[in-house]
Amino acid sequence: MKRKVISIDTERCNGCGLCIPNCPEGALQIIDGKARLISDLFCDGLGACIGYCPENAIFVEEREAEVYDEKRVMENIVPAGRNTIIAHLKHLEGHGESGYLNTALEVLREKGISVVESEYRKVLRNPDSCPGSKMRDFRERVKPAEVSTEDRSVNEPVSELRQWPVQLQLLNPNAPYLMGADLVVAADCVPFAYPDFHRKILRGHAVAIFCPKLDATMNEYVTKLAEIFRTQGIRSVSVVHMEVPCCFGVGRVVEMAMKQAGVNIPIKDVTVTIEGGRIL
């Protein structure tokens, strides 16, 4: 049958292997120094691995391929443990693959792994039930007076955060604080490494953070950012990431989202060193 599956440009692929742990289905392996799709049966065609490739060597194509087999995929996923199972379930739900999702849950029940299904339904399928994900807009709050450089030793730093939540996965694309905003899209390690993040980067901006290496929802992030770019009139985007290669995935996600949205918003790229320095 003809369907969507991932394809790998072997000329671009450098064999780094970052795509491997981000394919819970087990469809990829490093063979002869290159990432390879080992079986169409294991590839769902949703492209969770794409955002993790530093060389942009992975893409989705439509071609003749064996039918994706969710039950066989689950046989690979279950031995990998709870986190991989939940990442896979979340991946399927994020793309509206209810059929595959129901099959995966059926396999878990057959294997007596009900605790994972219970955790998934409680925590991941109902993120709004968590008070920590409730939308809050801080733009109208009364801010303390600016703290001068001389006074910093005796005064608390001023928070420049204008919203809650900040995690891209929890962000409502229709949130009012996004309308006409300058947006910071940052790797979630950045605020820990860069000591002046609030004053020099976050001030006057809305923010969305995620981890391009460990999060398993890159396609979902691309879709959500594309909706924000398409509907909210974002004025500019500051892409802020660490100097390590995997962190450059933040910029790739933003670029893919702009392409999907059909917009061209000015982008400023900022790299932060592991030691906490800033490279413009």
Extents of the domains making up the chain: 2-127, 131-141+159-279
Collapsed DSSP state (helix, strand, coil) of residue 122: helix
Six-digit token string for 28: 């990829």
Q: What is the pLDDT of residue 101?
A: 82
With bands split at pLDDT 50, 70 and 90, how would you rate the model's confidence at 175?
confident
Among the listed ranges 35-49, 147-161, 162-176, 261-275, which one has the minimum average pLDDT value? 147-161
Q: What is the pLDDT of residue 129?
A: 43
**Comparing 138 with 71, which gets the higher pLDDT?**
71
With bands split at pLDDT 50, 70 and 90, how would you rate the model's confidence at 133?
low
Q: What is the pLDDT of residue 147?
A: 45
Q: Do domains 2-127 and 131-141+159-279 have the same CATH topology?
A: no
Are 183 and 208 within 8 A, CB to CB? yes
Residue 256 pLDDT > 90 = yes
Collapsed DSSP state (helix, strand, coil) of residue 36: strand
The stretch 94-99 carries a mean pLDDT of 70
Residue 218 pLDDT > 70 = yes
**129 CB-contact burial (10 Å; exposed 0-12 / middle 13-18 / buried 19+):** exposed
* Other beta carbons within 10 Å of 14: 14
Which of 261, 249, 172, 167 minimizes the C-alpha distance to 207?
167
With bands split at pLDDT 50, 70 and 90, how would you rate the model's confidence at 116?
low
Residue 144 pLDDT > 70 = no
Q: Judge: domain 2-127, CATH 3.30.70.20.
A: yes
Q: What is the pLDDT of residue 155?
A: 60
Q: What is the pLDDT of residue 255?
A: 95
With bands split at pLDDT 50, 70 and 90, how would you rate the model's confidence at 253?
very high
**Comparing 239 with 139, which gets the higher pLDDT?**
239
Write the class of the CATH domain 131-141+159-279.
Answer: alpha beta
Q: What is the pLDDT of residue 121?
A: 61
Threshold 0.85, pTM exceeds: no
With bands split at pLDDT 50, 70 and 90, how would you rate the model's confidence at 95?
low
* Residue range 39-78, pLDDT digits in tens: 888 898 888 888 789 898 999 888 898 888 999 889 888 8
Q: What is the pLDDT of residue 120?
A: 60
The stretch 28-39 carries a mean pLDDT of 90
Which of 232, 244, 235 minimizes the C-alpha distance to 274?
244
Q: What is the pLDDT of residue 145?
A: 47
